[in-house]
Structures are given as C-alpha cells and as structure tokens.
Amino acid sequence: MPSTSWPRLVPRLALTLATTGLVLAVAAALLPPPPASAARATALKLSSTAADFRSGEEVFLRVEARRGGRAIAKVKIRVLSRTGNGSWREVARKTTGSGGTVVVSDRPSRTTTYRAVTVERKVGSRSIKVARTTRARTLAQRQEALAQVTGRARGAAVTTRRLGSQVVYQRHARAVVAQVGSSTWLVRGRMLKAYLRKGGVEGRLGAPVVDMRCGLLEGACVQRFQNGAIYLNNKARKKVAVAYGRTKATPILAAALSQRGYREPTYRGSKYGKWVGSKQPWCGIFLAWASHASGSGDAIPRAKSFPAMISKVRARGQVRSAPKVGRIAFIGSTPHHAVLILAVRQNTIVTLEGNVGTRGGAGHPRGVRKLVRPLSSVKFYAEPRL
C-alpha cells in the first residue's frame, strides 16, 4: 500500500485540529458556570512556628482565613488537637483579626496533630503534626523561631549564674527569653508583666524552667520558675498569685493562694464542692481543685469525700514523714483535715487551707485562709505526685 506523502497530510491534520477545537469550545460554552459560592468559599491555612518542641515548650499556631484570595476578618475559628489516633479536643476558640489571621498557643506533652475549623465546622484546614524532641534548644534557635512572638531584642544577651545554674537571657519588646542548661524558655504576655514586677531573672523567682501554660480552669495561666511559680486568674480573688520554693508543687501553691479570702456562699456550698459534685466537707477537695487549676492534674487526688482522699493518697504511696514546702499535712490524731504547707519553721508550719473558720476553727462561714499550725498537730504528710 503506497504511503501518503507529507504535503497531503498537513491540510488534513489542520482540518482535524480545527474541528476538534470547535467541538471543545462549543462543549465548554454549554457547561454551566462554576457556582459563585465556590469563589466566595472561606479557606483556612494552619501553620506552626516550629516543627518540633521540647517538653515544657509552648507551640504557636497561626491560622489564616482567606476568601477569593483576600484575607477575611471576624471568622470564628476553633483549633483542635489530638495525640495518636485519639479524639480531637478543643485547644482554643478565637476570631481572626483585621489581617485575617489569629495566633493560638498550646503546651503539649506528646507529639500532637493540630487542625483548624470554623465554629460551624463547614471549613477545615489541613492537619499538621508537631513532634516532641529531646534535642538541645539554644537561645539563638528559639529567638529565631519565635521572632514574631517576642518582638525585637532590647540590648545584648546577659550571662549570669542564678540559683546554681548558668543562665543566658535577653529582653525583647514582648518577652524575656532565657536559656538554662540545654533548654530555652519564654516569658511573655501578662505573665511577663507580673514576672518583671518580681525582678525578672535577677529577682527572687530566678529564671523560667518551662513556658507559660494557659487554658486551665477558669481560663487561668501558670508558669514555673527556678524558685517558684506565678498563677494568673482573672476570676480569682487574687488575680496574680505568686508562690516561692524549690519544688515542682509551687504552681499548686500559687493556684491555692489565688483563692485566699474565698468564703462559701452557703453551708458546704463551695465552688470546689460543686466542681467535684459533693456536699461533703471540702478541705481536701479544695487541695485537689488547686492541683487541677494549676495544670498539675491529679497530683493531689480528686475525691468526693475526705476518707476517700486519704485512701487514694495511701494507695499511691504519697505518704511522707517530714514537712516540706508544697506537701500536704493531715491534721489530727485521726486525720480530719488537710492543708497545704507554704513554709516550715522550727516548731510550726505556715499553711493554706480550705473549709475553715476565721481563725482555723469550725465557725461559719468557712473559707480559704492562711494559718500557722504546730507540727505536733500533724499526723502525717503527703507529697503531690508530680
């Protein structure tokens, strides 16, 4: 069969392409236009300041809302998190600002996956994973990662020795960043203001040993330092409470101190009893509330009755024989009352306790008070499980 010459194929090929193009154009014209809602749909983008975190570090998440390529303000956003294949929990609920963005912080303890959704759950972002790491974090590394959070540096970094550790710290427009050993911590926001009032790194509290943690009971925040903790709670009688001591229990003490002066509105009708769902005497319940309110969870066991609390403390091996700041003291030869130890003196302990009268008696109304008790009144002590 003779082959067709190239000059004869060119006109045929051109005619075929022209016909195909015409058919496609007609087909496109017959298709319905994309719905206007597609162009107006809100899109969410979620990002993190770092791909990993050390235990105790805050993770900062940025959510951006856009519609038709433009930033959208006043979009109500929920940021969710989960570990492994667990259930999603709400980290924060916020509204985008004029630039269409909002920043949310979290202080996870394990590798965590995050996503953002609108409150109506009609739109969601892609999920991102932030991994836990144990590698060292220098001052320079953390400053670079958190430049948008901290603002510009004010002056040079300072190297000093505080409470047995070398500390390198630097003041920024919106934060203090401090390296202690192989870790670097951040003090920011309202916490920064309270911290600087106490002298900052050079003050009695010393350097930070973790980042701030927020989203606690009553919307509170807490941060621990070398020699104490600061607890912030706008719903508390004392909105800024500070506890001192070289113990991991200082956040519990600070949360408890924020309640000093509280009085139960009705007999056994305290907010602490309502929190646990009990009308029983609430001295132990108050201590458990302070533990949870400080982000320490069940370090002091939550129980609906005093005998149940003692049973849990004994079962968990928390009993101790000597007083120490941050420990619980059980009062009476047959214990009937529990208190937190704020300070230890020669023959007495300074305590913070709930469900007591004005001078520590059984009068009414009962409340949260700071008292001094003789060591001889204590049956045994217990260490919060931290």
pLDDT tens track for 129-141: 999 999 999 999 9
Query: What's the pLDDT band for 361 if we cut at 50, 70, 90?
Result: confident
Q: What is the pLDDT of residue 108?
A: 96
DSSP strand pairing (328-331 vs 337-344): antiparallel
Positive or negative: CA dihedral 271, 275, 276, 277? positive
Question: Do 69 and 141 have their domain in common?
Answer: no
Q: Is 364 part of any domain?
A: yes
Q: What is the pLDDT of residue 32?
A: 56
Q: Is 303 part of any domain?
A: yes
pLDDT tens track for 208-219: 999 999 999 999
Q: What is the pLDDT of residue 33?
A: 54
Q: Tell me: pLDDT of 315 over 70.
A: yes
pLDDT tens track for 20-64: 454 444 444 445 555 545 456 889 999 999 999 999 999 999 999
Of 163, 181, 212, the one marking the end of a domain is: 212
Q: Is 99 part of any domain?
A: yes
Question: Do 377 and 304 have their domain in common?
Answer: yes
Determine the average pLDDT of the residues in 153-181: 98
Q: Is 252 part of any domain?
A: no
Query: What's the pLDDT band for 386 if we cut at 50, 70, 90?
Result: very high
Question: Do 277 and 175 have their domain in common?
Answer: no
Q: pLDDT higher for 1 or 256? A: 256
Question: Do 116 and 167 have their domain in common?
Answer: no
Closest to 62 measured CA to CA, from 71, 239, 70: 71
Closest to 325 measured CA to CA, from 356, 299, 352: 352
Question: Do 306 and 331 have their domain in common?
Answer: yes
Q: Is 251 part of any domain?
A: no
Determine the average pLDDT of the residues in 81-101: 96
Question: Do 52 and 126 have their domain in common?
Answer: yes
The tally of domains found in the chain comes to: 3
Query: What's the pLDDT band for 8 if we cut at 50, 70, 90?
Result: low
Q: Is 265 part of any domain?
A: no
Question: Do 105 and 56 have their domain in common?
Answer: yes
Q: What is the pLDDT of residue 25?
A: 46
Q: pLDDT higher for 36 or 193? A: 193
DSSP strand pairing (76-82 vs 59-67): unpaired
Q: What is the pLDDT of residue 12?
A: 52
User: Model-level pTM greater than 0.75?
Assistant: yes
Q: Please report, to the nearest 10 degrees, the dihedral formed by the alpha carbons of residues 171, 227, 298, 88 taken in order.
A: 10
Determine the average pLDDT of the residues in 97-125: 95
Residue range of the domain that includes 322: 271-382
Of 133, 157, 185, the one marking the end of a domain is: 133
Classified as helix, coil or strand, 6 is helix
Question: Where are the alpha helices (H) located in the chain, listed in sequence order?
Answer: 6-30, 36-40, 139-145, 147-150, 189-197, 250-257, 271-276, 283-293, 306-315
Closest to 184 measured CA to CA, from 205, 163, 207: 207
Q: Quote the mean pLDDT of the chain.
A: 91
Q: Is 151 part of any domain?
A: yes
Residue 370 sits in a domain of what CATH number? Answer: 3.90.1720
Q: Tell me: pLDDT of 368 over 70.
A: yes
Query: What's the pLDDT band for 115 if we cut at 50, 70, 90?
Result: very high
Q: Is 346 part of any domain?
A: yes
Determine the average pLDDT of the residues in 274-300: 97
Question: Do 48 and 96 have their domain in common?
Answer: yes
Determine the average pLDDT of the residues in 107-136: 95
Query: What's the pLDDT band for 3 if we cut at 50, 70, 90?
Result: very low
Of 133, 167, 186, the one marking the end of a domain is: 133
Question: Do 299 and 205 have their domain in common?
Answer: no
Determine the average pLDDT of the residues in 299-327: 97
Q: Tokens for 379?
A: 């049956």
Residue 81 sits in a domain of what CATH number? Answer: 2.60.40.10
Q: What is the pLDDT of residue 14?
A: 47
- Of 3-17, 98-112, 149-163, give the lowest mean pLDDT range: 3-17
Question: Do 377 and 292 have their domain in common?
Answer: yes
DSSP state of 37: H
Residue-wise DSSP of 186-206? EEEHHHHHHHHHTTGGGSTT-
Question: Do 140 and 203 have their domain in common?
Answer: yes
Q: Tell me: pLDDT of 105 over 50.
A: yes
Q: Is the peptide bond before 365 cis (omega within 30 degrees of 0)?
A: yes
Question: Do 48 and 126 have their domain in common?
Answer: yes
